[in-house]
Structure 1
Amino acid sequence: MRSFTFSHAITRRPSASIVAGLRAVDTGTPDLALMQAHHAEYVAALRSTGAVVVELPALEAFPDSVFVEDTALCLPEGAVVMRPGAPSRLGEAAEMAPHLAALYGQVVQIEGADSFIEGGDILVTETEVLVGRSARTNAAGVAELTRRIAPWGHSVREVFTPPGVLHFKTDCSLLDGETILSTKRLAESGCFAGYKVIHVADGEEACANTIRFNDLVIMPAGFPNTRATLEQAGYNVREIGNSECAKLDGGMSCLSLRFTPKP
């Protein structure tokens, strides 16, 4: 259960500069106060499971820095500092590195000048690390990650993010050791062969990015049909408002790094 049972999480408070954050389509300026309230609910949900949650201060120099997941891949054996595909976000990864070093014995970095990879494109299951090629993650980044984590006993399988979708995990999330929540457009690619797949309800594609965190499935609020499906399948669902992060293409997984470092 190393893929969904965690002792730790790292989050970062939203900065006032987030109103200038990256977005694929402009659907309005985020309301900072509402985003801060949603973020506090999110942190409380993580803590309610008994996990240690490190809440880092806002980084005004980096508007997108609330989305900490893109900065690193955290595995039990060590952490890999990413090399984000958005140039404005490279500094966020450097800011995260010392916090990971305080918790892990091994922290390595994606270093290749041609390598780009973001955590939002990485789905860790019990048996493999799925990495979706996207506008933010390229073949060189996938290849370098594969080399970095092979000594830790992890294998990478490269898959492809649907056109027009920012990150692989925009369209999917892990529910347990054998089950994945996915949009139909992603599942139809065949990338989840061998897994049980629960499809999000039609018209509710935006809730495919949830997280399984210990005994909770934390999902964005406002998707009643998918929530009902998950509850009927026996999951303990907690809804968190995501209206403001969604304006910046952000979701539940983007807001935390989740891990159990080996002592």
Structure 2
Amino acid sequence: MTNTITAYVEDEYSVLADVIMCEPRHMAIKEVINEMQKQHASANIDIEKAVFQHKQLTAVIQEFGAAVHFLPASASLPEQVFTRDIGFVIDDQLILSNMGTSIRSAETMALADWYEQRYGPCSHLKSGTIEGGDVMLSEKLLFIGQSSRTSKEGLDELQRACPNKQIIPVHFDNRHLHLDCIFNILDSSTAIAYEPAFETESLETVKQFFNIISVPEEEQSRLGTNVFSLGRRHVISLPENTHVNKQLREYGFIVHEVPYDEIIKSGGSFRCTTLPLRRERKNHQ
């Protein structure tokens, strides 16, 4: 075991240092598990195009200065490109997700094996379900989506694992897979959201903490909220989401536009395919 990296993430927007990804070499819609996949199941995924777009994303991340660590792609795990779903780092803990669908359970074990061979033990939650797409961190605050994939029991188990965090449940329309499909935190005071998906009380709650960049319906259909923050106000977004990108720039963000439409067919975008292992601590930025 080589302990060359100390996992550390305290928010969604500090400078990215290390990230876990997996190339979509075996990506396929084999069993429809979300609304987006229903629309594209017959055409399925163009692997060559998906791999090319994933490489473009990887290049932008590496050019920014972050190290990309690849999980070995397995032919038996067609959803493996979506590394964010299967685990998440809170402070110095890599926590494995308890997946809400059986087709993806083996992915968490593959992540655990890969991580523990290199960096030491990760944390295993014991009850309920929780997926990384529903977990959003902003220093001492944890916003947890109460989706069809993350249960109240999973939320309670995470609170026991992270007693120093204030957990804020976020309720939304379960036609949307994860919280990051309708919401994302861009800095300590700014978030991006598709507001119609939220239950009223939850929307009012997040507005107490953040100024909201609102995503229109057309761009929500292309997962407009599912951008990825590199740090120093650099954000990766889809070129087709022109309204979102214009607003991001007006708020002072530097937008890197990366084509990703082939991977989006399976129901996830930039945030879904990136699992930050380490972001720089505030006093090092």
Instruction: Name the CA distance, whole Å, in 1 between partners of 2:76 and 2:193.
Output: 34
Aligned 8 A contact 1:78 1:106 in 2:
no
Q: Deviations over 1:117-158 (max 9, x none)?
A: 1101111113311111111111111111111122xx323221
- AA at the equivalent of 2:131: E
Correspondence list, 1:58-137, <5 A: 58-101=73-116, 104=119, 107-112=122-127, 115-137=128-150
What is the identity, as a one-letter code, of the residue corresponding to 1:246?
A: I
Q: Aligned partner of 1:18: which letter?
A: A
Partner of 2:195: 184
Count residues with an aligned counterpart: 259
Tell me which moved more, 96-105 or 47-56.
96-105
Q: Which runs of 5+ in 1 are unaligned?
A: none
CA contact (8 A) 1:12 1:68 kept: yes
Identity of aligned residues (%): 22
Counterpart residue number, 2:227: 210
What secondary structure does 1:30 align onto?
Answer: coil
Q: 1:118 to 1:48 in 2, by over 3 A?
A: same
CA distance in 2, matches of 1:161, 1:59: 33
Instruction: Structure 2 unaligned segments of length 5 or more: list them.
Output: 1-8
Aligned-partner Cα distance in 1 for 2:103–2:180: 21
**1:7 partner SS:** strand
Matching of residues 246-261 of structure 1 within 5 Å = 246-260=264-278
Q: TM-score, normalised by structure 1?
A: 0.91
Moved more, 169-178 or 186-195: 186-195
Assess if the C-alpha contact under 8 Å between 1:79 and 1:104 holds in 2.
no
Which amino acid in structure 2 is aligned with residue 161 of structure 1? Answer: F
TM-score computed with the length of structure 2 as normaliser: 0.84
CA displacement 1:76-104 (0-9 Å, x = unmatched): 32111111101111110011013333565
8 Å CA contact retained: 1:231, 1:237:
yes
Q: Distance in 2 between matches of 1:262 and 1:49?
A: 13
RMSD value, Cα: 2.1
